[in-house]
Amino acid sequence: ICIENISTGQYMRFETETSGDDVLTIDTGSYGATITRAGVDYDDIICPDFGSEYLKLQPGINDIKVGFGYSGEGTEVSIEYSLRFAGV
């Protein structure tokens, strides 16, 4: 799995097998990742590949690409991020 923030150039690549029912949860605040399979959480089978960075979303629109493998192909989405407590 490869997740790239096209806006910043940061990417996260995970070397793990996934199926259509798996849920990947990434917590960029605590730098953790979990795969949920059939209702069971696994955090010990997933870690970022060498060179990966936990993505930091920038305020505003972030263009993200999600793909599988090293092909560079993937689905692009835009995520709008805003600070909850700006200036606090």
Give me the pLDDT at residue 63, please: 92
pTM over 0.85: no
pLDDT tens digit string along 33-81? 888 888 898 876 666 677 788 788 888 898 999 887 666 678 898 988 8
Calculate ∠ Cα 79-19-57, nearest 5°: 20
> Is the distance from CB of 3 to CB of 11 less than 8 angstroms?
yes
Give me the pLDDT at residue 35, please: 84
How are beta strands 75-81 and 60-67 bridged, if at all? antiparallel
